[in-house]
Structure 1
Amino acid sequence: MPNNPAQLVADAVDRCLTLAETWLAWDGRPIVTDGANLWTPAKAARRIQDHLVDHLAEVEALLAGAAPLPDAWHGRTVTLDSDWSRFAELDLSEARSRWTRLGASYVHRYSAAGPEAWDLPRDPNWTLRLIAEHVAGITWYAEQVGVLRFGESASIR
């Protein structure tokens, strides 16, 4: 089978997990990017997961011939109380399990749909290929927290 565009999503999950492995070193201070965006490891993890779930649901709806449900996430514009939680070993373990399964779900779903479905116009929505390319951008969320090391402050990027 030709290169499955959803492999980009699975690869992005791997990159996010590589960064998340360092988040155990988070010192509890917010990381500010672009002068205004506030990040914590838990917030980045939430956004990665929300993005994976949201667009997988979109793909499923499009393949079923249904209109995708509108996106009601608040996204990065808000920081929830839960975003201030520590990111501990079990959080990393949970992320590994969830994100890896979600990434694999994209690959399996795209494989089942077949190459003929990947570039089929789905106006007003994106093609499946464009959705996969967009979702692969989840690494942006992980990069906002970046690589953390014990004893180093990463409060401003």
Structure 2
Amino acid sequence: MGLPQTLLDSARPRWSHRDPVEGGNPFPPGDPNAARWAEATATARARLRAHDARLAETADVTLDPARYRAQIVGLAGARFDTWAERLLVVLDDEARRAEGRLWLDRYVDNWLAYATDTLPHVTFGTDLEDRLRARARYWSGPGQSDSTAQSPTTPPIMGR
């Protein structure tokens, strides 16, 4: 059985902590995935709060466009990683993993449009797309069907 259509249809990026999957838990009550999704969502929100606390201590207020762009790309990458990892808890067969890859690709595309719309003064070049496409490949790669495979707090490309 595939992923719920409400999940597949919703991949809305946000600078805030708002869930990219709109409408709440996409799994019906009683479905084992509903509990896994709810737990993973709570974990994701806690990670976002922890990331923002670290960011508040380390972010530079800068007029340097390159430094500002790097900070924004890092923030988008952290948001992306957090929600991508949550998706892994329900990718328990090959059909769902294939749908998960499609969702990640859509999420990247939506992030690129969202960043351009919300920050028209920032010239991203290929930095944001390169980062997010690499992250999508990472999260959909071999071994990522187990959500314990990698923590989003230490992703391999994040500090690039």
Q: Verify same fold: TM over 0.5.
A: no
- Specify the TM-score bucket, using the shorter chain as the normaliser: 0.3 to 0.5
Identify which of structures 1 and 2 has the higher relative contact order when contacts are C-alpha pairs closer than 8 Å and 6+ apart: 1
State the TM-score, normalizing by the size of structure 1: 0.37
User: Larger Cα Rg: Structure 1 or Structure 2?
Assistant: 1
